[in-house]
Amino acid sequence: MIPMKPVSLGGDAGLCPNATLLLDAHSGYASSQWQDGSTDSIIRVSQPGTCSAAAVDLCNRASSATAVITGLKGPTTPFLSGDTSVCQYGGLVVASLYGFPTYEWSTGENTSQITIDQPGQYWLQVSNSAGCIARDTIEVAGKNCFEAFRMPNAFNPPLQTPMCGPANTSWKAFLPHGPEER
């Protein structure tokens, strides 16, 4: 007599948020059934809970297995600061607000921070210690910034005019965008 191949679901497993886990009771049985009544050999699990499968072989012998699916905590989101802007001549450092084991930026870099010098949409995909993955996106707009105030080094206004007397010798710099856009 051929021994029955026991049903195996691979043991207990963890399930990340927004993920799907495939459990396979394997084919080759005369009949099989999952806890939800389905009879396919593979079931898709998207919620934590207990999954069980029962099967009967061609010799009418039964076997069953159970797997406990535990919900895992995903990475803390959001992990990028809000949308921002970058000056046309400068760079902007964008960094993850939290530490993670892995980082993958839309630019291809694998560090916790990048320097951006062009407007556009940038995303960061991270994974936590449980292996769960999350993605956060920011929009970086371009802006025209006042680059620098330049005054000639050979500036020498007249101290007097023949018709008006002493000239105004008080000079003030005018910054059109203010210091906050420097």
Q: What is the pLDDT of residue 46?
A: 95
18 and 63 together in one domain: yes
What's the pLDDT band for 105 if we cut at 50, 70, 90? very high
Task: Look at residue 58 and tell me if it is in a domain.
Answer: yes
88 and 63 together in one domain: no
Residue 67, pLDDT > 70, answer yes
Task: Look at residue 116 and tell me if it is in a domain.
Answer: yes
Instruction: Report the pLDDT averaged over residues 40-51.
Output: 94
Q: Write out pLDDT tens, residues 156-165.
A: 555 666 666 6
Instruction: Report the pLDDT averaged over residues 70-84.
Output: 94
As beta bridge partners, residue 139 has 121
Task: Look at residue 47 and tell me if it is in a domain.
Answer: yes
22 and 54 together in one domain: yes
Q: What is the pLDDT of residue 148?
A: 61
102 and 52 together in one domain: no
Q: Using the 3D structure, point to which of 71, 93, 115 is the last residue of a domain.
A: 71
Regarding predicted confidence, which is higher, 178 or 45?
45
93 and 66 together in one domain: no
As for how many domains the chain has, the answer is 2
For the record, the structure tokens of 78 come out as 């959001």
Q: Which residues contact 97 (CB under 8 A, 6 or more apart)?
A: 78, 79, 80, 81
Task: Look at residue 25 and tell me if it is in a domain.
Answer: yes
Domain of 61? 13-71
**If 0-12 CB within 10 Å is exposed, 13-18 middle and 19+ buried, where does residue 66 land?**
middle
Q: Write out pLDDT tens, residues 124-182.
A: 999 999 999 999 999 999 988 876 656 666 655 556 666 666 655 555 555 555 554 44
pTM to 2 decimal places: 0.67
